[in-house]
Structure 1
């Protein structure tokens, strides 16, 4: 860093510190954000009033594409049969029944109805350690599909199963305790490939705390060129959206209601949600509220399937004026933790994409408003939509163990880890991320072949059955030697 750049940095820090002191002395909020000056509402940008005085900027691109009919008769059907039981001691017991399980039950000869797979986990904090998992029955592909460490996971599952069988005699009544809550899911999902030429497909991109719709610039340009209709909103207080001056405007429920209005305004028949960090929670909320309209979902560094609750011992609980004084330090910490490398390119990406450029008031209100007790592990386990999990290996905000736990809880999840990415992986590695997303959009499950019926043209078998029947009905003719009277 040259002397001129160092002097500029020191001047900015001094200015921020003086403004913070002025805020403390005058008891006035500092750095209240108003919508950022943007170009004209044209060029794909719209301003939507979700509530009186609450206006969100939305980038909406409808590309020029050939007129084609909606696809019919394509894709595969997935049987989503699941029983989720929560016990009073904190155990979560998941039993999966799918197409493969149904075939096994039909061909079962001993009359037992064993589920296709079961999973038993402890409701612990996934940020501390990886939870114990035991699958005593056959392993479900839906729980480990797409996991880069599938072989290691299978080995760990095998060891856990052996340990569970060893301790079964010591804890025979562990699963027979009275359940606290039981959820049964039984539905059929038709999952088809989503191409840009399909007019019934829409992509929704939702950013997290401190971001803006500009962080999706590479993705919006890439998919709009492929013919997809894309929608990306700015959360309240972010980007060019309005910034209310009350903390209640930034609670999870207030922001989720905004996203619900945006979704209902632009939704098509098949919708794909793509969320990053805190934005993943809003995608999960929408997928739970509109299960028939959400076709697929992508979670980028979203964390584990835990309920949201603001931390009591957080730096964001400090007064707004103090946070304003610390804003240069916070921006530096975000650069260190959010990117795998901290060079000139990463700093330019932050500046160009308007990332982590929110007021101290909005930042404090956003972090304090992350209260969502309904979004626990059971809430996530109820989702039947296919999910792609993308994780940057160098992410210091979200450990990879949290996304691994999310992959275990979800019914249909595919976990992909990018070694060169961090928390802002879609900005650091746009090409690999775009490729992963596009492959997932085009993915569709294989349709299981219908069970073969017994052929009626098998003369040998039919003749054998006829001979056997005649032998039973007329034993003297069928076995002459044996039927001969004893001398």
Structure 2
């Protein structure tokens, strides 16, 4: 810590940055690592593993088709109203989570920039519970509530406001199982701020042994990638453009994106840019579906020399907040996986460059790809309420919470994370049979009516009643059931 303090003091006195702006020499073997120049002078380290497949199998299963029908309405007062119109998507989602099916659903969400606005005037549609209660006349209303309703009914009815924006999604997605023996499948792993591709070590080794082709890049300034000297090189748009070029270079027919923390935003960006090529997506501790905006009151707004003096304190804080337990094992994991080992200049530029106003709730609600959300219960960076909000906004989202993990859950619980990922890769929705057409009964003629009446009156042709038919209770149940 004394060395960091002295270097930071010299930095402040000489007005020179202590940032090292050359690629870090990697001590890893060159096997499986590539250096890709995405732009002149901007070089990223990528770990690319193509396993030897003894038998290349084509997908044999027909998979399942999911109907993605959704209407998203944004009102001027800030209310977001989402109406799911597809029965298959809703049914498959609830089957995968709870084993129960639910009909079409609607979601009403208040946007983050409209917390202080007035409540919405009149909702587009009443909720299913209130509508059914009003229809059956079974709602329990007390005297105070009745008086309030009477007073409200006497007030002049507000005029329905026109929506500010309406988005209609109507498409059909075919989702199949992705096995390691399929040559058209590629897995992309994208880390967050302060990480490197080494944090995915357990996942890269596990899935490459299963036969998957895996691609994991180092973001600019992280790991062994180059670190430009200007802060504009670390904005969201600059890093997203890097990930887009990496994706175009290694993409297959069916691609699965796995992102962690800040890396989830880049996965969302790619899913919007290439909706036909993204087959599935995984968000690990990614947070809520809100537009990115740097915090004005943050420690990372301090000068670079001050951050360099505080680097040991920042590393200790990251260890305490990023892991559920802080022991020798966790410290060794940080050291071995090259996590939170970036310069103060890069760290400050990354945190102040997280500006992405397009990535709001509507942007995430437009995604039609199946998404698995994994959250560590002890995560102090991302609260679980944000991932729950994300699960409500997304069309096909499956939220899994691991009680023994924190923010760096892929390093703390590698076996549990690998199992969840593999099950999700192999998952495919069941193909539902088409609805049966109801056959209209032909009207009976006078002759058939006469013959039926004659048959019932003839005692010789009347069949003896069974015990079920003789019981009046059973008859009542059958009528009510019909």
> 1:333 aligned to 2:317?
yes
Q: CA deviation at 1:41?
A: 6.8
SS, match of residue 405 in structure 1: helix
SS, match of residue 334 in structure 2: helix
Structure 1 counterpart of 2:108? 120
Structure 1 counterpart of 2:335? 351
Q: CA deviation at 1:71?
A: 1.6
Structure 1 counterpart of 2:297? 313
Q: CA deviation at 1:116?
A: 2.3
Partner residue of 1:272 out of 229, 241, 256 = 256
Q: CA deviation at 1:34?
A: 2.6
Q: CA deviation at 1:446?
A: 1.0
Partner deviation per Cα, 1:302-324 (whole Å, 9 max, x = no partner): 00000001111100000000000
Q: CA deviation at 1:453?
A: 4.2
Q: Is the 8 A contact 2:288 2:389 kept in 1?
A: yes
SS, match of residue 296 in structure 1: strand
2:177 & 2:235 partners in 1: Cα distance? 35
Distance 1:126 1:238, change over 3 A: farther
Q: CA deviation at 1:452?
A: 2.6
Moved over 4 A (4+): 100-103, 132-135, 166-175, 453-456, 468-472
2:114 & 2:204 partners in 1: Cα distance? 32
Structure 2 counterpart of 1:34? 22
Q: Is the 8 A contact 1:100 1:116 kept in 2?
A: no
> 1:258 aligned to 2:242?
yes
Q: Is the 8 A contact 2:78 2:113 kept in 1?
A: no
SS, match of residue 35 in structure 1: coil
When the two structures are superposed, what TM-score results if normalisation uses the length of structure 1?
A: 0.80
SS, match of residue 214 in structure 1: helix
- Paired residues for 1:429-468 under 5 Å: 429-453=413-437, 465-467=443-445
2:375 & 2:88 partners in 1: Cα distance? 30
Q: CA deviation at 1:73?
A: 5.5
Distance 1:81 1:27, change over 3 A: same
User: Which ranges of structure 2 fall in alignment gaps of 5 or more residues?
Assistant: 92-102, 131-144, 451-482
SS, match of residue 112 in structure 2: coil
When the two structures are superposed, what TM-score results if normalisation uses the length of structure 2?
A: 0.81
2:160 & 2:392 partners in 1: Cα distance? 23
Partner residue of 1:77 out of 46, 65, 69 = 65
User: Which ranges of structure 1 fall in alignment gaps of 5 or more residues?
Assistant: 1-12, 104-114, 140-162, 473-487
SS, match of residue 60 in structure 1: strand
Structure 1 counterpart of 2:209? 225
Report the aligned-residue RMSD: 3.0
Distance 1:100 1:361, change over 3 A: closer
- Paired residues for 1:175-194 under 5 Å: 176-194=160-178
Structure 2 counterpart of 1:240? 224
- Paired residues for 1:327-406 under 5 Å: 327-406=311-390
SS, match of residue 128 in structure 2: coil
1:174 & 1:385 partners in 2: Cα distance? 38
Distance 1:179 1:22, change over 3 A: same
Structure 2 counterpart of 1:298? 282
Distance 1:358 1:471, change over 3 A: same
1:362 & 1:243 partners in 2: Cα distance? 7
Q: CA deviation at 1:121?
A: 1.2
Q: CA deviation at 1:72?
A: 5.4
SS, match of residue 417 in structure 2: helix
